C-alpha cells in the first residue's frame, strides 16, 4: 500500500496534462493541489504497512450488512470512483465469463493487482459520439467512438476520445469501456481495456469549476473541498497489451461493462444524493433560523417539501440495499430497479430543491460581501452590524453561512454539481429506460386485467 506521499510521487510519471491551453505539471499547477491533498489524505487514512495488505475500503462487500457498512466510508472522489471500477470489473467478470472466459480471469487478476499496488482508476466511458442520431459505425468521423485501429499479436492500438472523465489526471489507470451497446459490424468499437495514465499517446485536457483567485476561494468553503478537475482524455494511437484487453470485438457483450458500471455509478450517486439532500435541508433550516423565519408558514412549508424529498431519496437507497442479491461469485448487487428510480428521483427534483433554498435565503445569497470586506476598517464593522439579525446570530457567522449557501446553490461549483448529478450514470433518460426495463410490466397488466375481470386479449 501507498502513503499519501508515495501517491504524490507516483504522479511524476511523465503523464501529459493540459489546462487552459498550456501543458502543465499536475504536481505544480494550482488547480490540482487541493485534489491531490484530498486523495493523499485518503491514502494515509487507510494505509496499512503490513506486507500484502489491501485497503479496507477496496474490499468487496459480501453481504447486505457489509455493503450498508461500506456506504458509511467517507473518501475522496478519485478513490470512490476506483471502488466503482473494481466493483464493475467483478460484476462484469461474472457476466463476461461465457463469452470470453480468459477476460474474466484477466479482470479478476487486474482487480487483485490494483488492490495490491493501491492504485487509482478513472472510469472512461463516454465517447465523443459525433451525431447522436447515428450509431458508432455510421459517423462521418470513424473516431467519434473510440475504436481499435490496429490488431497486433501482442495487443491492440486504440484511437478516440473519452469525455467527462473525473480525476483522470490524478489516477494511475484508465478503465476504457464502450459507452453503449454495439452491433454487427461494430467490432472495432467493442473494446474494453485498461491503460496507464502515462501510456504513450494519452493526453488529458482538464477543466475546472473551482473558484479562481484567492479572494474568491476564501469565500467558497464547499467547492474548495469538493473539487476534482474533469478531463477530456485523448487516446492518440495508444497501444494496449493483450492481458489488459477485456473485450475485443465481441459486440454482443459491448454493453455489459457500461450496464455494470451504471449500477455502481447510480448507487454511489444515490448515496451521495441522499446525504446531500439532508445537507440541503440543514442549510435551508440554518438560514431560516439565522433570518428569524423558521416559523414562517411559507418557509416551513418549503423546508418540509425538502424533507419529503430527502426522505424519499433515502427510502429508495434503503430499499435498494435491503433488496440486494448476492451473485454466484459472492458479489453483493443492490436492487437495480430501486437504485435507478432513486437516482432518477433525486436528480430530477434536485434543481427544485436548490431553487427552494434560493427562494428562502434571500438576495444576500448573491450580494453578500466578501470576508475581506469584514476586515476593512472603514466598512467592516458596519457589514458585521447589518449582517447580524439578532444577538444570537453574529454578522460574521451569517456572512459565512451565505458564502457556504452561495457555494451550494448559486456558484459555478453549484452549476457543475447540478449538471454532474443530472448526467451521472447517463442522464435522466437513461435512468428512465433502465427503470422501465427492470419493472415487471407484464405483472402490472395481469393485475389490471384481474381487477377488470377480463382475460388478456389474444
Residue 276 CB, nearest approach to a second copy (Å): 9
Give the number of other CB atoms < 10 A from CB of residue 436: 11
Residue 258 CB, nearest approach to a second copy (Å): 15
Listed ranges 102-110, 114-122, 192-200, 427-435: which one lies at the site for a second copy (CB under 8 A): 427-435
Q: Is 326 in the site for a second copy (CB under 8 A)?
A: no
Which residues make Cβ contacts (< 8 Å) with residue 368, sequence separation at least 6?
A: 387, 399, 402, 403, 406
The number of helix segments (H) and strand segments (E) in the chain equals 18, 12
Which residues make Cβ contacts (< 8 Å) with residue 191, sequence separation at least 6?
A: 146, 147, 148, 156, 158, 176, 178, 245, 247, 248, 249
Helix orientation angle between 254-291 and 395-409, rounded to the nearest 10 degrees: 150
Give the number of other CB atoms < 10 A from CB of residue 421: 20
Residues, the chain: 458
Q: Is 341 in the site for a second copy (CB under 8 A)?
A: yes
Listed ranges 40-48, 50-58, 115-123, 317-325: which one lies at the site for a second copy (CB under 8 A): 317-325
**Helix, strand, coil shares, percent, the chain, to 5:** 55, 15, 30
User: Quick one: which H or E segment has residue 36?
Assistant: helix 30-46
Q: Is 318 in the site for a second copy (CB under 8 A)?
A: yes
Which residues make Cβ contacts (< 8 Å) with residue 179, sequence separation at least 6?
A: 125, 126, 127, 129, 145, 258
Residue 101 CB, nearest approach to a second copy (Å): 34
Residue 312 CB, nearest approach to a second copy (Å): 5
By beta-carbon proximity to a second copy, the closer residue of 149 and 366 is 366
Binders of a second copy in range 49-68 (CB under 8 A): none
Q: Is 73 in the site for a second copy (CB under 8 A)?
A: no
Binders of a second copy in range 149-208 (CB under 8 A): 160-161, 163-165, 203, 205, 207
Residue 172 CB, nearest approach to a second copy (Å): 21
CA distance 227 to 77: 9
CA distance 18 to 207: 9
Number of residues engaging a second copy in binding (CB under 8 A): 152
Listed ranges 32-40, 51-59, 77-85, 360-368: which one lies at the site for a second copy (CB under 8 A): 360-368
Site string for a second copy, 380-419 (x = CB under 8 A): --xx-xxxxxxxxxx--x--xx-xx-x-xxxxx-xxx-xx
Listed ranges 12-20, 89-97, 187-195, 256-264: which one lies at the site for a second copy (CB under 8 A): 12-20
Q: Is 71 in the site for a second copy (CB under 8 A)?
A: no
Listed ranges 48-56, 76-84, 250-258, 429-437: which one lies at the site for a second copy (CB under 8 A): 429-437
Residue 307 CB, nearest approach to a second copy (Å): 5
Residue 443 CB, nearest approach to a second copy (Å): 7
Q: Of 61, 96, 433, nearest to 266 (Cα)?
A: 433
Query: Which of 126, 135, 137, 272 is in the footprint of a second copy by CB under 8 A?
Result: 126
Site string for a second copy, 366-385 (x = CB under 8 A): xxxxx-xx-xx-xx--xx-x
Listed ranges 49-57, 103-111, 326-334, 441-449: which one lies at the site for a second copy (CB under 8 A): 441-449
Binders of a second copy in range 74-103 (CB under 8 A): none
Instruction: Provide DSSP, 110-147.
Output: HHHHHHHHT--EEEE--B--SSTTS-GGG-SSGGGS-E
Residues in a beta bridge with 121: 173
Q: Is 222 in the site for a second copy (CB under 8 A)?
A: yes
Binders of a second copy in range 290-309 (CB under 8 A): 290-293, 295-298, 301, 304, 307-308
Residue 243 CB, nearest approach to a second copy (Å): 28
Q: Is 25 in the site for a second copy (CB under 8 A)?
A: no
Q: Is 236 in the site for a second copy (CB under 8 A)?
A: yes
Query: Which of 53, 157, 255, 428 is in the footprint of a second copy by CB under 8 A?
Result: 428
Q: Is 137 in the site for a second copy (CB under 8 A)?
A: no
**What is the gyration radius of the CA atoms in the chain, in angstroms?**
24
Q: How far apart are the first and last CA of the chain?
A: 63
By beta-carbon proximity to a second copy, the closer residue of 112 and 441 is 441
Question: Which whole-number Å values give the CA distances from 158 to 51, 152, 360, 377, in the listed order?
Answer: 36, 11, 51, 61
CA distance 237 to 243: 18
Q: Is 41 in the site for a second copy (CB under 8 A)?
A: no
Q: Is 221 in the site for a second copy (CB under 8 A)?
A: yes
By beta-carbon proximity to a second copy, the closer residue of 95 and 396 is 396
By beta-carbon proximity to a second copy, the closer residue of 249 and 346 is 346
3-state secondary structure of 23: strand
Q: Residue 390 burial by CB count (10 A; 0-12/13-18/19+): exposed, middle or buried? A: exposed
Amino acid at each position: 500500500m501507498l502513503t499519501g506521499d508515495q501517491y504524490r510521487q507516483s504522479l511524476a510519471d511523465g503523464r501529459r496534462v493540459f489546462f487552459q491551453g498550456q501543458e502543465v505539471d499536475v504536481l505544480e499547477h494550482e488547480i490540482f493541489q487541493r485534489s491531490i491533498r484530498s486523495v493523499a489524505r485518503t491514502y494515509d487514512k487507510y494505509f496499512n504497512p503490513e506486507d500484502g495488505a489491501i485497503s479496507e475500503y477496496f474490499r468487496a462487500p459480501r453481504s447486505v450488512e457489509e455493503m450498508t457498512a461500506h456506504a458509511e466510508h467517507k473518501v475522496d472522489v478519485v478513490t470512490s470512483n476506483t471502488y466503482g471500477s473494481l466493483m464493475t470489473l467483478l460484476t462484469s467478470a461474472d457476466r463476461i465469463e461465457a463469452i470470453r472466459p480468459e477476460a474474466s480471469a484477466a479482470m479478476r487478476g487486474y482487480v487483485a493487482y490494483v488492490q495490491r499496488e493501491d492504485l487509482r482508476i478513472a472510469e472512461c466511458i463516454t465517447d465523443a459520439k459525433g451525431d447522436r442520431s447515428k450509431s458508432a459505425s455510421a459517423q462521418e468521423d470513424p473516431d467519434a467512438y473510440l475504436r481499435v485501429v490496429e490488431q497486433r499479436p501482442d495487443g491492440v492500438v486504440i484511437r478516440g476520445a473519452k469525455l467527462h472523465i473525473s480525476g483522470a489526471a490524478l489516477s494511475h489507470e484508465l478503465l476504457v469501456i464502450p459507452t453503449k451497446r454495439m452491433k454487427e459490424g461494430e467490432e472495432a468499437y467493442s473494446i474494453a481495456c485498461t491503460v496507464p495514465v502515462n501510456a504513450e499517446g494519452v493526453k488529458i485536457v482538464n477543466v475546472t469549476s473551482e473558484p479562481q483567485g484567492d479572494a474568491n476561494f476564501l469565500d467558497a468553503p464547499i467547492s474548495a473541498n469538493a473539487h476534482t478537475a474533469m478531463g477530456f482524455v485523448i487516446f492518440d494511437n495508444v497501444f494496449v497489451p493483450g492481458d489488459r484487453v477485456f473485450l475485443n470485438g465481441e459486440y454482443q457483450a459491448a454493453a455489459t461493462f457500461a450496464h455494470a458500471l451504471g449500477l455502481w455509478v447510480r448507487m454511489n450517486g444515490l448515496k451521495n444524493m441522499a446525504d446531500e439532500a439532508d445537507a440541503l435541508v440543514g442549510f435551508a433550516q440554518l438560514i431560516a433560523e439565522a433570518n428569524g423565519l423558521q416559523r414562517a408558514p411559507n418557509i416551513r412549508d418549503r423546508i418540509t417539501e425538502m424533507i419529503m424529498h430527502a426522505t424519499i431519496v433515502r427510502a429508495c437507497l434503503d430499499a435498494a440495499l435491503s433488496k440486494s442479491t448476492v451473485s454466484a461469485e459472492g458479489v453483493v448487487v443492490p436492487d437495480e430497479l430501486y437504485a435507478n428510480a432513486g437516482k432518477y428521483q433525486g436528480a430530477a427534483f434536485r434543481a427544485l430543491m436548490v431553487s427552494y433554498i434560493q427562494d428562502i435565503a434571500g438576495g444576500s445569497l448573491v450580494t453578500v460581501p466578501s470576508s475581506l470586506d469584514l476586515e476593512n476598517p472603514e466598512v467592516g464593522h458596519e457589514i458585521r452590524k447589518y449582517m447580524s439579525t439578532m444577538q444570537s446570530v453574529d454578522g460574521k457567522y451569517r456572512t459565512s453561512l451565505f458564502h457556504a449557501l452561495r457555494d451550494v446553490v448559486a456558484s459555478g461549483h453549484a452549476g457543475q454539481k447540478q449538471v454532474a448529478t443530472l448526467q451521472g450514470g447517463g442522464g435522466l433518460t437513461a435512468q428512465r429506460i433502465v427503470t422501465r426495463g427492470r419493472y415487471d410490466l407484464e405483472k402490472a397488466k395481469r393485475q389490471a386485467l384481474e381487477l377488470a375481470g377480463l382475460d388478456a386479449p389474444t
